[in-house]
Structure 1
Amino acid sequence: MTALNIYIADDDLEDRSFFIEALDDLPLTTEVTQFNNGVDLMDKLFSDDNLPHVIFLDLYMPIMDGFECLMDIRNFKKFKDIYIIAYSGIYREREVNQLKEDGANLFLKKSSSFKELKKLLLKSLQRVKSSNKNEVENGEFVILS
C-alpha cells in the first residue's frame, strides 16, 4: 500500500515531535507534514494538489485554532475525503459534540504515555485505512482516549 499522507497541525513542537516519534514506531508507512498553526495548514491545503489522507488537528493553537480549521476544511468540497482527527489534552463534552457537528471524524485525547499514544494512533490510522469515502463524507465520529 502507498504511504498514508498525514498532516499534523499543532503549535507545540514537543507534542508534534512526540506524535511523529510514535508514528515512526508504528507498522505503517507514513509521510508526515507538520504545521505549527492553522493558517499554514490551510495555505498548504489550498496550494497543493496532493491532499493528505488524514489531518491530526490540535484544537488549541494561536492565530487559527483547530475548531476554525475544521469549519474551513469542511466548507470546501475538494477536502470532503480528508479524514480529520481532532485532538487535545482536555476532554470537554460540549466541545467534542461541536467537533462532531462540524465534521470531525474522530476525537483523540492526547496521552503523555508513549505506549498509549502509539496504541491510539494505530487505532486511529487503522480506521482511516479501512474507512471509505461515504463514512468520511457522512460524518462517522469516534472518540478515542
Structure 2
Amino acid sequence: MEKLNIYIADDDLDDRDFFMEALNDISIKTEVSQFNNGVDLMDRLFSDDILPNVIFLDLYMPIMDGFECLIDIRNFKKFNNIYIIAYSSIYRDREVNQLKEDGANQFLKKSSSLKELKKILLKSLEQVPIKNKKVALRDEFVVLI
C-alpha cells in the first residue's frame, strides 16, 4: 500500500508531537505535513499540485479555526476527494452535528493515552478511501471518542 498523504492543522505543538508519535507507531504508512493554523493549511492546499488524502483539523486554533477551514475546503470542488477528520479535546453534540453538516467525514476526540490514540488513529485511517475513490460527503460520518 502506498503512503497516505496527511495534513495536520493544530496550533498546539505538544499535541502535534504526540499525534506524530502515535502515527509513527501504527501499521499504516504515512507522509505528514504539519501546520499550526488554518491559514497556512489553506495556503498549502491552494499551492500544492498533490493534494492530501486526509486532513486532520483541530477545531480550536487562532487565526482560522477548524470549523472555518472545513467550510472553506468544502466550498472548492477541487478538494472534494479529501477526507476530513475534525478533532478536539472537547466533545459537544451540537458541534459534531454541525461538522457532519459542513462536510467532515469524521470527528475524533483527542486522547491523552498514547495506546488509545494509536488505536483511534488506526481505526480512523482505515476508513480513508483508497486512491481514486470518491469521498462520500455527509455519508457514514464516524465519531471516535
TM category, shorter: over 0.9
Contact 1:52 1:82 in 2 (8 A): yes
User: Is residue 59–residue 87 contact of structure 1 (8 Å, CA) maintained in 2?
Assistant: yes
Give distance in 2, aligned partners of 1:33 and 1:116.
Answer: 22
Q: Which residue does the alignment assign to 2:80?
A: 80
**Residues 39-118 of structure 1 aligned to structure 2 (within 5 Å):** 39-118=39-118
Q: Distance in 1 between matches of 2:84 and 2:107?
A: 9
Question: Residue 71 of structure 1 contacts residue 102 of structure 1 at CA under 8 Å; is this kept in 2?
Answer: yes
Deviation by residue 1:72-119 (Cα, 9 ceiling, x = unmatched): 000000000000000000000000000000000000000000000000
**What is the aligned partner in structure 1 of residue 9 from structure 2?**
9
CA distance in 1, matches of 2:39, 2:81: 20
Do the aligned residues in 2 keep the contact of 1:82 with 1:136 (CA within 8 Å)? no
Partner of 1:141: 141
- Match for 1:23: what amino acid? L
1:21 equivalent to 2:10? Answer: no
The secondary structure found in structure 1 opposite 2:127 is helix
Q: Which structure dedicates a bigger proportion of its chain to helix?
A: 1
RMSD: 1.5
- The alignment covers a number of residue pairs equal to 145
Shift of 1:28: 1.3
Alpha-carbon distance in structure 1 between the residues aligned to 2:140 and 2:105: 6
Tell me which amino acid in the other structure corresponds to 1:33.
Answer: S
Question: 1:60: Cα distance to partner?
Answer: 0.0
Cα 1:98–1:131 shift into 2, 3 Å: farther
- Report what 1:38 is aligned to: 38
Q: Which runs of 5+ in 1 are unaligned?
A: none
For the residues of structure 2 that align with 1:18 and 1:112, how far apart are their CA atoms?
9
Does the C-alpha gap of structure 1 residues 131 and 85 become closer, same or farther in structure 2, counting only changes over 3 Å?
farther
* SS of residue in 2 equivalent to 1:81: coil
Q: Normalized against structure 2, the TM-score is what? A: 0.95
Unaligned runs of 5+ in 2: none
SS of aligned partner of 1:122 = helix
Poorly superposed stretches of 4+, deviation over 3 Å: 129-135
Distance 2:117 2:130 in 1: 20
Task: Please report how far the alpha carbon of residue 17 of structure 1 lies from its aligned counterpart in structure 2 after TM superposition.
Answer: 0.3
Structure 1: distance between partners of 2:101 and 2:15? 26
| Closer/same/farther in 2, CA of residues 126 and 132 from structure 1, 3 Å limit | farther
